Amino acid sequence: MEKIVVIKIGGNCIDDEVALSAFLSDFAAIKFPKILIHGGGKLATQLASQLNLETTLIDGRRITDEKMLDVVTMVYAGLINKKIVAQLQAAECNAVGFCGADANLIQAHQRVNNEINYGFVGDIDKVNADFLVDLLDKNYTPILAPITHNKKGILLNTNADTLASSIAIALAQKSNKVDFYYCFEKNGLLANVDDDMSLISAVNIQEIELLKQNQTITKGMIPKVDNISFALKNGVDKVVLCNAKHIGEIFEENSILGTTFTIK
Amino acid sequence: MEKIVVIKIGGNCIDDEVALSAFLSDFAAIKFPKILIHGGGKLATQLASQLNLETTLIDGRRITDEKMLDVVTMVYAGLINKKIVAQLQAAECNAVGFCGADANLIQAHQRVNNEINYGFVGDIDKVNADFLVDLLDKNYTPILAPITHNKKGILLNTNADTLASSIAIALAQKSNKVDFYYCFEKNGLLANVDDDMSLISAVNIQEIELLKQNQTITKGMIPKVDNISFALKNGVDKVVLCNAKHIGEIFEENSILGTTFTIK
């Protein structure tokens, strides 16, 4: 396959129905074979709270006991995934929704951590990229929810950022070119986090380290950028960090939107 | 394709974790290309009640307002569907879960009824059988939740019995032979509903009418049997009404379990 586009959208976009709808309409129009990975947003936390389940996050990761696993499975793989699929189908994009258990797409193991019991949280072992390539070849658009399984009958809650980069890496072994678009609520990597106009347009892997040292990249950006580095080192051609609002324009020729990360 | 087996399981089996697990283990072992359609059981009603939503059933059909649609989407297409897929994957059955929006598998329209407003309830217009045949050819096992869509962005709650027979009929146009197994909590069609030993082994379409007239078929059995007649008249080779407990043995040679319905 000539080129595959892998796109991740995060919580802020999913929580806002109008923004999500605009995003999906732009996404449907992208001409390349494409895959969408979505996070869960606040909906899982809301449902948990309505069910009197307490949400505990450690370093942004949700502690997932059995009841919370049911909640995230319902919200991510059910509600959000199927609403996205239905909206894309209406926009003439032949979307098909999956979680990692389907077709053994993403096999994981329960996280082992001596200090914190994360519960039913999964770390990814392998991706069935052939299944995805086959669907893309037939013009279907896979939509992935961040739930995986251990192949022993247990579903696992899995970080959507890591899942998206694992998918991009696995596809890079099967395709000439994989571009990974990492959408969030900012315009890209900013020299000054409070100034939307201070966009850094292009960054290579060496520069990532410098930007960490001089504290342009801090806090929540660190795991994102580590994910990006890891993807580039493992065969992904470029990673674009951009605003979900710009996903249409960014595919236009000579677009100057977003931050493009490359290996060199 | 030589022969496709379409199997529907209902609520009673899904509500009972031990029974469901036994059923899935037997289902995984069936050697033919196969598709499973599952209902929702009491889980949706339970979740609705925890969320203070009132469940109203008219003739067994759930009145589905927007909030109830979210509940059934979460429970059917999320929780139940993905748990079934994960368990089958553990049993080396390459299951893939879908709702009717995925790949535009089952397109429907919102029910029009002058007397009752059913809300987001769908009546089926068409089935994308090619997508299913393609998956079966590659040894995948589709698992379908009873949620469809209108191709205009709206998900619809759809009766699982009707959905299963629509799938069987659509596949009958693409395959030499489709057998439809309709699993429930009884052993089949009983001459005396209170006597599990009074099984009627074989019934043809003319006999169905006689059994309705003499009131062997009454109440809740009528829509089931009407569904069965409709499937037979539209290309399905045989329909077997049987106990979910027997789904393993019924594929053994010379099995005398269940009631087999045929056209002649």
CATH of the domain at B90: 3.40.1160.10
The residue of chain B nearest to residue A24, with distances taken between CA atoms, is: B153
Adjacent-strand bridge partners of A36: A7, A143
Strands B141-144 and B95-98: parallel
B112: Cβ contacts below 8 Å, ≥ 6 apart: none
For an interface test with B, give the residue of A21, A27, A51, A85 to mutate (most B CBs within 10 A). Answer: A85
Place of tokens 């399905």: B236
pLDDT given for residue B160 in this prediction:
94
How confident is the model at residue B217, as a pLDDT? 93
Average pLDDT over residues B148-156: 98
CA–CA gap between residue B31 and residue A235 (Å, rounded): 39
- Spell out which chain A residues touch chain B, with contact meaning CB-CB distance below 8 angstroms: 47, 50-51, 70, 73-79, 81-83, 85-87, 89-90, 94-99, 101-104, 134, 138, 140, 147, 149, 151-155
Per-residue pLDDT averaged across B222-245, rounded?
A: 95
Backbone angles phi, psi at A37, to 5 degrees: -115, 125
Summarize pLDDT for A128-183 with one digit per residue, the tens. 999 999 999 999 999 999 999 999 999 999 999 999 999 999 999 999 999 999 99
What backbone torsions phi and psi does residue B221 show, to the nearest 5 degrees? -75, -25
Give the pLDDT of residue B145.
Answer: 98
**Can you tell me which residue has the tokens 């605009």?**
A22
Mean pLDDT taken over chain B: 95
- Residue B12: the pLDDT is 83
- Determine the residue of chain A that is closest to B145 in CA distance: A78
B22 to chain A: which residues are within 8 Å by CB?
Answer: none
pLDDT at B3: 95
Give the distance between the most distant pair of CA atoms in chain B.
Answer: 50
- The number of domains in chain B is 1
Structural domain including A32 reads 4-262
Residue A61: what pLDDT?
80
pLDDT in tens, B3-32: 999 999 987 889 899 999 999 999 999 999
pLDDT-derived band at A205, boundaries 50, 70, 90? very high
- Using a CB-CB cut-off of 8 Å, the residues of chain A touching B154 are 86
Contact (CB, 8 A) for A99 and A77: yes
With CA atoms as reference, the chain B residue closest to A143 would be B102
Residue of A nearest to B92 (CA): A151
Contact: B104, A94; criterion CB under 8 Å: yes
Q: Given this model, what pLDDT does residue A220 score?
A: 82
Q: Could A103 and B140 be called an inter-chain contact, meaning their C-beta atoms sit closer than 8 Å?
A: yes
pLDDT of res. A1 = 74
The torsion region of residue B112 among left (phi > 0), alpha (psi -120 to 50) and beta comes to: beta
Cα–Cα distance measured from residue B212 to residue B228, given in angstroms and rounded to the nearest whole number:
13
CA atoms within 13 Å, Cβ hemisphere of B213: 5
Cα separation, A20 vs B71, in Å, equals 20
Q: What is the mean pLDDT of residues B137-164?
A: 97
- Tokens 């469901």 appear where? B20
- Per-residue pLDDT at B57: 87
The region that residue B134 occupies, defined by phi over 0 for left and psi between -120 and 50 for alpha, beta otherwise, is alpha
Distance CA A162, CA A60 (A): 13
Residue of B nearest to A155 (CA): B86
* Average per-residue pLDDT for chain A: 95
pLDDT of residue B40: 84
| Residue B51 with chain A: CB contacts under 8 Å | 50-51
Q: Which residues of A touch B96 (CB under 8 A)?
A: 98, 102-103
Closest chain B C-alpha to A257 CA, distance in angstroms? 29
Give the pLDDT band (50/70/90) at residue B205: very high
Contact A76 B78 (CB under 8 A): yes
What is the pLDDT, as a whole number, of residue A114?
Answer: 84
Interface test with A, best of B79, B92, B99 (most A CBs within 10 A): B79
The whole-angstrom separation of Cα B79 and Cα B94 is: 18
Nearest residue on chain A to B97, alpha-carbon basis: A102
pLDDT for B193 beyond 90: no
Q: Which of A74, A81, A133, A149 to mutate to test the interface with B (most CBs of B within 10 A)?
A: A74
Task: Tell me which chain B residues have a C-beta less than 8 angstroms from the C-beta of A86.
Answer: 101, 149, 153-155
pLDDT tier for residue B59 given thresholds of 50, 70 and 90: confident
Give the closest-approach CA distance of A139 to chain B in angstroms. Answer: 10
Model confidence pLDDT, tens digit, residues A53-86: 998 988 778 899 999 999 999 999 999 999 999 9
Best of B43, B74, B83, B148 to disrupt the A interface (most A CBs within 10 Å) is: B74
Interchain proximity A140–B103, CB inside 8 Å: yes
Is B112 a residue whose pLDDT tops 90? no
Amino acid at position A80, single letter: I
DSSP string of chain A? ---EEEEEE-HHHHH-HHHHHHHHHHHHH--S-EEEEE--TTHHHHHHHHTTPPP-EETTEEPB-HHHHHHHIIIIIIIIHHHHHHHHHHTT--EEEE-TTGGG-EEEEEPP-SS---BSBEEEEEE-HHHHHHHHHTT-EEEE-SEEE-SSS-EEE--HHHHHHHHHHHHHTTSS-EEEEEEESSSS-BSSTT-TT-B--EEEHHHHHHHHHTTSS-TTHHHHHHHHHHHHHTT--EEEEEEGGGTTGGGSTT---SEEEE--
Count of CB pairs separated by less than 8 Å, A with B: 117
The mean pLDDT of B207-220, rounded to a whole number, is: 92
First CA to last CA distance, chain B = 24
The answer, yes or no, to whether residue B133 has pLDDT greater than 80, is yes
CB B138 within 8 A of CB B149: no
Nearest to B83 among A81, A85, A155 (CB): A155
At B123, phi and psi to the nearest 5? -110, 135
Share of chain A above pLDDT 90, in %: 86
> Model confidence at A38, in pLDDT bands (50, 70, 90)?
very high
User: Cβ separation of B85 and A101 shorter than 8 Å?
Assistant: yes
Question: How would residue B159 be classed by pLDDT, with cut points 50, 70 and 90?
Answer: very high
Q: Do A86 and B155 touch (CB under 8 A)?
A: yes
pLDDT at B156: 98
> Considering only A227-231, B111-115, B126-130, which range has the smallest mean pLDDT?
B111-115
B78:A79 CB<8 A: yes
- Give me the pLDDT at residue A239, please: 98
For residue B61, what pLDDT is reported? 80
Q: What is the mean pLDDT of residues B176-187?
A: 95
Per-residue pLDDT at B41 exceeds 80 = no
Residue range B67-94: mean pLDDT, rounded: 98
- Among A18, A89, A94, A139, the strongest candidate for a mutation testing the B interface, having the largest count of B CBs within 10 A, is A89
CA distance B86 to chain A (A): 5
pTM of the model: 0.97
Q: What is the model's pLDDT at position A118?
A: 92
